[in-house]
């Protein structure tokens, strides 16, 4: 070991050299860490893109694929954040040295900000003299612009509508323009505010009491009773549009039906009510009719409800095997029986739960063993879904021909295999129950091979109910039967707007502003599939 120098100058020099070596080592380590984090983020990004492309090319083969995408997105989020932290740390460490160059991540080019956003110019004061020679003879060559996206907190305003009075000097008659229509009778809230209240309550699951508290923090006193009063008035004003959507949905040849639970307050406790949905969506089969969704609410799940909802309907009902639909399929039903088309996604899920490897891994020692028969059933059912994906958008004749040629043999082999394996199983085996669910209803499952109008799954209805399932965690329960009915009413409007790629809040704001002045004969122009926000987008861009 070398002896340490005795004089102070040498000690200071040695200490400075040691600090430089430490800074250099720290910068090198920070650079390597930043490069590694960047590589991890890039891998996470590419992995997510690959899985998304696979899903677009081949379709989602299972629920596990959807969970995998969610998992990959979370991993990408963490990896990107860590890479940025390490990059900044490397830049800070490199600044202490003159040798190490900081690692700079390669990022994709930034997309320009939308043209319709207003621009605010902040001009940095230019120098009045040359910093080199001091001359004041400066001539402008041009300018560089750096754009930064910023948000302005929500602004409130009161619109004063002034109606001047005039008197006639000849006959002393007083004239005055008529008062403008309000979206709601005796209301004092504008259509955009009303649309925001409605969409936040029924589309974003924010109860009125939370909205009222937030408005108070912003300096606006809108009590819960005022908001509730305006919600009821809006529902009344929007009733004609809801009725037209209802008639449109029930006029379909095929409906997707499903239901989910919704707690309803009753005498100090909650009862388990139901929200029912019926979706008309012919787009996967190239249908020209606009898609729409119709919601109803009820206190229980008796068969009376779907029978009442579909009293005049006589087409195909895509649904699960709920026994309450049985009266609809009866041959003696008037005016005609509904055609039963069972959902393959429901039946597949029963097998998938017994073959979910990821779920078993999470449960550890308490997990039930994976069922090889359930896994084999999932694989065989997936072949049918693969065939269906190839036929999306084709004509009815092409679909029927492809099903007869490709799906019928697969279906026959699946039935033979399932009946053979079922005969070897105990009736108490979980996989036997999943098989019985299908085998006892095989005609309803196989009907898609003879009717090209039938879909393989009921996913359209399940997607429509997904938002409600998320909302339950926020608002907990409906305050009454009328409250549940009102929720179903607004979900019909919002879900139909989304199905037609329309912004529900913008649509509601425009409809509430125009519906009072729109004749009954022209109300169809306000339906989501006939509505366009082009003019409103131009107005926002010009503002």
Instruction: Examine the pLDDT at 78 and tell me if it is beyond 70.
Output: no
Q: What percent of the chain has pLDDT over 70?
A: 81
Alpha-carbon distance of 73 to 93, in angstroms, equals 30
Alpha-carbon distance of 305 to 301, in angstroms, equals 7
Q: What mean pLDDT do residues 495-505 have? A: 93
The confidence score (pLDDT) of residue 242 equals 94
Instruction: Examine the pLDDT at 481 and tell me if it is beyond 80.
Output: no
**What residues pair up with 294 in beta bridges, in sequence order?**
278
DSSP string, 130-150: -TTT-----------------
Q: Which range has highest mean pLDDT (8-12, 268-272, 409-413, 476-480)?
A: 409-413
Instruction: Examine the pLDDT at 526 and tell me if it is beyond 90.
Output: yes
Distances (CA, A) of 434 to 160, 336, 419, 520: 65, 31, 12, 51
Q: Which range has highest mean pLDDT (11-20, 56-65, 316-325)?
A: 316-325
pLDDT in tens, 305-321: 999 999 988 889 998 88
Please indicate whether residue 395 or residue 512 has the higher confidence score (pLDDT): 512
Closest by CA position to 282, among listed 395, 390, 385: 395
Scan for tokens 């380590």, then name that residue: 29
Compute the Cα dihedral for 419, 420, 421, 423 and give only its sign: positive
* H or E element that contains 19: helix 8-58
Instruction: Examine the pLDDT at 336 and tell me if it is beyond 50.
Output: yes
The confidence score (pLDDT) of residue 91 equals 73
Asked if 301 and 259 touch (Cβ cutoff 8 Å), the reply is: yes
Instruction: Examine the pLDDT at 234 and tell me if it is beyond 70.
Output: yes
The confidence score (pLDDT) of residue 518 equals 86
pLDDT in tens, 383-427: 999 888 888 777 788 888 989 999 999 999 999 999 999 888 888
Alpha-carbon distance of 468 to 205, in angstroms, equals 8
Please indicate whether residue 49 or residue 69 has the higher confidence score (pLDDT): 49
DSSP string, 500-523: TT--HHHHHHHHHHHGGGS-GGGG
Alpha-carbon distance of 232 to 243, in angstroms, equals 16
The confidence score (pLDDT) of residue 268 equals 62
Please indicate whether residue 222 or residue 35 has the higher confidence score (pLDDT): 222
Residue 314: φ, ψ to 5°: -135, 25
Instruction: Examine the pLDDT at 250 and tell me if it is beyond 50.
Output: yes
Scan for tokens 């070398």, then name that residue: 2
The confidence score (pLDDT) of residue 538 equals 33
Asked if 112 and 105 touch (Cβ cutoff 8 Å), the reply is: no
Asked if 380 and 417 touch (Cβ cutoff 8 Å), the reply is: yes
SS3 287: coil
Closest by CA position to 397, among listed 290, 286, 498: 286
- Computed on alpha carbons and rounded to an integer, the radius of gyration of the chain in Å comes to 33
Q: Give the N- to C-terminal CA distance of the chain in Å, as an integer.
A: 76
Alpha-carbon distance of 190 to 513, in angstroms, equals 8
Asked if 439 and 420 touch (Cβ cutoff 8 Å), the reply is: no
Judged by average pLDDT, the poorest of 62-76, 121-135, 253-267, 322-336 is 62-76
User: Strand 254-266 vs strand 339-342: parallel, antiparallel, or unpaired?
Assistant: unpaired
Cis before residue 335, ω within 30 degrees of 0? yes
Q: What percent of the chain has pLDDT over 90?
A: 19
Give residue 539's pLDDT band: very low, low, confident or very high (50, 70, 90).
very low
Compute the Cα dihedral for 143, 148, 153, 155 and give only its sign: positive
Q: What mean pLDDT is reported for the chain?
A: 80
SS3 255: strand
Alpha-carbon distance of 447 to 453, in angstroms, equals 10
152 alpha-carbon distance from chain centroid: 25
pLDDT in tens, 462-475: 888 887 777 666 65
Structure tokens at 354: 């017994």
């Amino acid at each position: 070991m070398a002896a340490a120098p005795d004089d102070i100058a040498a000690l200071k020099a040695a200490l400075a050299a040691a600090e430089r070596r430490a800074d250099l080592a720290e910068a090198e380590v920070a650079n390597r860490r930043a490069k590694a984090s960047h590589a991890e983020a890039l891998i996470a990004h590419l992995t997510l893109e690959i899985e998304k492309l696979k899903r677009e090319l081949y379709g989602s083969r299972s629920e596990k694929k959807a969970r995998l995408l969610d998992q990959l997105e979370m991993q990408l989020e963490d990896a990107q954040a860590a890479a940025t932290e390490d990059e900044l740390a490397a830049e800070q460490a490199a600044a202490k040295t003159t040798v190490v160059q900081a690692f700079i991540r390669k990022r994709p080019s930034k997309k320009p900000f939308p043209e319709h956003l207003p621009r605010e110019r902040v001009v940095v004061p230019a120098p009045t003299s040359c910093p080199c020679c001091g001359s004041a003879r400066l001539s402008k060559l041009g300018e560089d612009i750096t754009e930064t996206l910023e948000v302005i907190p929500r602004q409130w305003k009161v619109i004063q509508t002034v109606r001047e009075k005039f008197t006639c000097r000849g006959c002393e008659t007083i004239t005055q323009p008529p008062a403008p229509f309000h979206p709601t009778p005796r209301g004092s809230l504008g259509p955009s505010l009303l649309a925001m209240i409605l969409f936040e309550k029924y589309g974003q699951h924010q109860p009125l009491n939370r909205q009222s508290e937030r408005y108070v923090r912003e300096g606006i006193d809108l009590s819960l009773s005022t908001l509730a009063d305006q919600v009821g008035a809006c529902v009344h004003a929007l009733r004609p549009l809801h009725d037209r959507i209802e008639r449109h949905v029930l006029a379909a040849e095929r409906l997707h039906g499903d239901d989910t639970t919704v707690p309803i307050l009753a005498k100090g406790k909650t009862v388990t009510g139901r929200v029912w949905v019926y979706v008309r969506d012919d787009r996967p089969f190239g249908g020209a009719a606009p898609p729409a969704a119709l919601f109803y609410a009820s206190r229980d799940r008796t068969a009376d409800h779907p029978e009442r909802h579909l009293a005049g309907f006589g087409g195909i009902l895509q649904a699960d095997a709920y026994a309450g639909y049985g009266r609809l399929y009866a041959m003696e039903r008037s005016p005609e029986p509904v055609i039963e088309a069972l959902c393959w996604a429901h039946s597949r899920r029963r097998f998938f739960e017994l073959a979910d490897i990821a779920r078993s891994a999470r449960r550890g020692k308490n997990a039930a063993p994976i069922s090889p028969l359930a896994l084999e059933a999932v694989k065989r059912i997936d072949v049918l879904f693969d065939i269906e994906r190839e036929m999306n958008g084709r004509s009815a004749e092409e679909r029927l021909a492809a099903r007869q040629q490709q799906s019928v043999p697969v279906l026959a082999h699946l039935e033979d295999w399932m009946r053979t394996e079922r005969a070897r199983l105990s009736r108490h085996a979980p996989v036997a129950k999943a098989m019985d669910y299908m085998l006892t209803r095989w005609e309803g499952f196989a009907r898609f091979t003879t009717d090209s109008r039938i879909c393989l799954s009921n996913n359209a209805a399940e997607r429509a109910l997904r938002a409600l399932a998320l909302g339950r965690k926020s608002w907990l329960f409906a305050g009454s039967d009328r409250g549940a009915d009102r929720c179903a009413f607004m979900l019909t409007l919002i879900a139909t707007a989304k199905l037609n790629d329309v912004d529900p809040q913008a649509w509601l704001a425009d409809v509430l502003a125009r519906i009072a002045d729109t004749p009954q004969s022209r109300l169809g122009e306000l339906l989501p599939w006939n509505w366009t926000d082009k003019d409103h987008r131009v107005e926002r861009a010009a503002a």
